Structure 1
């Protein structure tokens, strides 16, 4: 597949990196330094030019492209790039936007803006925050098979009851499979005698209830409840969308916004929230508002530095859990190292969503793990699949190491896979696979 990516920033570069191994990728950007950097970093063709220009897109070969992905920081430029591409090609167009208004318009009129698929950065970030917040201790969460299967990633702390246990002894949760252990940057497929060490990140796949039970053993809470104290600091679009989604779950968040006009807007829109007009970085105010009793604090200000400050102040006061929005992806590890429980980078979330979409040709759903070290795929098994009418043990013996069958759904029933489980055509299988073997494995499944 030939893919033209307009924009070589953080989102575009991540998308190009995820597609370069399996597709012919052309990247277009106006910044010569970005063009030079991506030329040396990736096996792609990089062109300096304006992606909204028909001449530039023709130079990039858009007339023969299968897909155009517009991922600059300008919503308008992305929409124009898609519309321009449609005048000379049948390429499937994908536009990244931040304004939810554009997304609402696009959803309301099929083919609006000449965009075939639209991704809203701020809404995706808010959905990620709420999804992670609903499962205590989780750093990543995704659903498969219509919500019947969940994948979750957790970090094991010194205090966890699972620390220094073997996988065999920790495997006491019904309908749960230990898919992988992420340790020191490496992906390890666990065996029964594999020791779970403090600092490990564990990827599990199973029923939502089993994932909740697993989470509660790692972190002794039950996830967000309507009675929980939740604070959203910052009335940005991400903060607003986060509060709106929390309201939909029956939670009454307290939204802190410094700007009086924006605070009034939020109070009118968020009828199920309590909006407080004040400075969320003021420790005296946070103490008066009893942030020490917070079950969750979401830092969604417009500055990474302020989000870090708010998160650390909240933790110092006694808040149980903090989630911070981090616009600069290079700061994510720093935030989590110094004490923020989860750092969400909207650009990375967007890049993963677009990359996920491009990989769904042969799969029902895809989740990308740890910046593309591995993926979790949902596949409908057909008669040609290597898995069809074979036991898990027999089939996986013919696959390279690095593949784990995490769950099977059959006729709306969840089946926990074991070595002697027989996979049938029509089954939906959720599979964990290391990225390095995906290109080899996916066609066989």
Structure 2
């Protein structure tokens, strides 16, 4: 398939990196240095120029593209690109936007702005944070099979009783699959003899109850409930969307916003949220408002520096868990290294959603692990699959190394994946696969 990616920033670059091995990818960007740099690492065709220009699109042979992805940092430019493409070809258009207003318009009339599929960075980021709030000890959470299956990543604390357990000893949670251990940046597909070490990140796939029970074991038996006492610092669009999601769950968050006009506007938009106009780095204010008692604090301000400062101040006063929205992807590891529990990058979240949609139309859902080192993919089994009507232990032998079948649902019901489990047509199978074999898995299944 020929893909045209317009915008070579974080989102466009991650899309090109993930798809260039299996598709013909052309990347257009107005910054020559940025687009040329991609060719040193990936097999892509770079085009320098304005993606809204018909001359540049002709140079990129846009009429030959099957999918066009508009991923610049400007909503209006991305919508203009989609509209322009529709004047010259029937390519499937994907546009990235930040503003939920554009997304809501598109939802009301699919195909608006000349866009066939739209992703909203702010809403996707809020949803990712919402999943973390529902499973507060996890570092990452994704839902599969309509919510029947959950993939979660937990970090093993040095004090956890889980330390020194083997996978075999930990195999006591109904239907739970230990898909991977991430250790020092390396993704390990564990065997029964592998032992958990402090600071390991453990990726598990299974029914929601089992994932939650494992999360409790990681924290030495502490009962895990969704966070109820949530503080949001920063009345950004993402902060507003997080508050709306919590209101839908009958949770009453507190939101701190320093700008008086913005605070007044948020108070009108969020009837079940307590909106307060104040600087959240004021220690006296935080103590007066008992912020230390919060289960979780979400920091989403207008700069990464302010966001980091707010999250660290919150940890200092005793907030149990912090989530920070980080605009610059290169700061994610830094935030987590200095004490932020989870750093969420909107561009990374958006890139994953677009990759999910373009990776293979058969893929129902995709989650990316450790910056692309592996993927968790949901597929519906059809008559062409090499797994159909075969026990897993037999069918898995025809798949490449680096693949684990993590979960199966059949008719909406969870099926525990064991070696003698027979895969049937129509089953939804959730697979963990190393990045190098993803394309082979998609082709075989």
Task: Give me the whole-angstrom Cα distance separating, in 1, the residues matched to 2:34 and 2:223.
Answer: 45
Verify the 8 A CA contact 1:356 1:368 in the aligned structure 2.
Answer: no
What residue number does 1:223 align with?
225
Query: Which consecutive segments of 4 or more residues in structure 1 shift more than 3 A?
Result: none
Task: Give me the whole-angstrom Cα distance separating, in 2, the residues matched to 1:301 and 1:106.
Answer: 27
What residue number does 1:150 align with?
150
Q: Deviations over 1:77-126 (max 9, x none)?
A: 00000110111111100000011110011111121000000011111111
What residue number does 1:272 align with?
272
Q: Secondary structure at the match of 1:124?
A: helix
Equivalent residues in 2 for 1:171-250 (5 A)?
Answer: 171-219=171-219, 220-225=222-227, 228-250=228-250
Task: Give me the whole-angstrom Cα distance separating, in 2, the residues matched to 1:203 and 1:434.
Answer: 13
What residue number does 2:141 align with?
141
**C-alpha deviation, 1:31, in angstroms:** 1.0
What residue number does 1:407 align with?
407
Q: Deviations over 1:171-221 (max 9, x none)?
A: 111121111111122221111111111111111111111111111222324
Task: Give me the whole-angstrom Cα distance separating, in 1, the residues matched to 2:150 and 2:354.
Answer: 20
Q: Secondary structure at the match of 2:366?
A: strand
1:19 aligns with 2:19: yes
List alignment gaps of at least 5 residues for structure 1.
none
Equivalent residues in 2 for 1:41-440 (5 A)?
Answer: 41-219=41-219, 220-225=222-227, 228-440=228-440
Task: Give me the whole-angstrom Cα distance separating, in 2, the residues matched to 1:40 and 1:147.
Answer: 40
Q: Deviations over 1:25-60 (max 9, x none)?
A: 111111122122122232111111000111111111
Q: Secondary structure at the match of 1:46?
A: strand
Alignment coverage as a number of residue pairs:
443
Verify the 8 A CA contact 2:233 2:257 in the aligned structure 1.
Answer: yes
Task: Give me the whole-angstrom Cα distance separating, in 2, the residues matched to 1:123 and 1:223.
Answer: 24
**C-alpha deviation, 1:224, in angstroms:** 2.1
Verify the 8 A CA contact 1:52 1:77 in the aligned structure 2.
Answer: yes
What residue number does 2:441 align with?
441
**C-alpha deviation, 1:170, in angstroms:** 0.7
Q: Secondary structure at the match of 1:196?
A: coil
**C-alpha deviation, 1:347, in angstroms:** 0.7
Relative to the length of structure 1, the TM-score reads 0.98
Relative to the length of structure 2, the TM-score reads 0.98
**C-alpha deviation, 1:430, in angstroms:** 0.9
Task: Give me the whole-angstrom Cα distance separating, in 2, the residues matched to 1:27 and 1:411.
Answer: 41
Verify the 8 A CA contact 2:178 2:205 in the aligned structure 1.
Answer: yes
Verify the 8 A CA contact 1:252 1:274 in the aligned structure 2.
Answer: yes
RMSD between superposed Cα atoms in Å: 1.1
Task: Give me the whole-angstrom Cα distance separating, in 2, the residues matched to 1:166 and 1:178.
Answer: 11
Verify the 8 A CA contact 1:304 1:327 in the aligned structure 2.
Answer: yes
What residue number does 2:36 align with?
36
Verify the 8 A CA contact 2:352 2:366 in the aligned structure 1.
Answer: no
Task: Give me the whole-angstrom Cα distance separating, in 2, the residues matched to 1:31 and 1:411.
Answer: 49
Verify the 8 A CA contact 1:297 1:322 in the aligned structure 2.
Answer: yes
Q: Deviations over 1:235-293 (max 9, x none)?
A: 00001001111111111100000000100001011101100100012222112111111
When structure 1 is superposed on structure 2, of 131-140 and 295-304 the one drifting more is 131-140
Task: Give me the whole-angstrom Cα distance separating, in 1, the residues matched to 2:205 and 2:399.
Answer: 20
**C-alpha deviation, 1:411, in angstroms:** 1.9
**C-alpha deviation, 1:70, in angstroms:** 0.4
Q: Deviations over 1:138-165 (max 9, x none)?
A: 1111111111111111111112221110
Q: Deviations over 1:370-399 (max 9, x none)?
A: 211111111111232121121111111222
Verify the 8 A CA contact 1:136 1:215 in the aligned structure 2.
Answer: no
Task: Give me the whole-angstrom Cα distance separating, in 1, the residues matched to 2:231 and 2:223.
Answer: 17
Q: Deviations over 1:357-382 (max 9, x none)?
A: 10241222211112111111111112
**C-alpha deviation, 1:136, in angstroms:** 2.2
Verify the 8 A CA contact 1:3 1:67 in the aligned structure 2.
Answer: yes
When structure 1 is superposed on structure 2, of 341-350 and 275-284 the one drifting more is 275-284
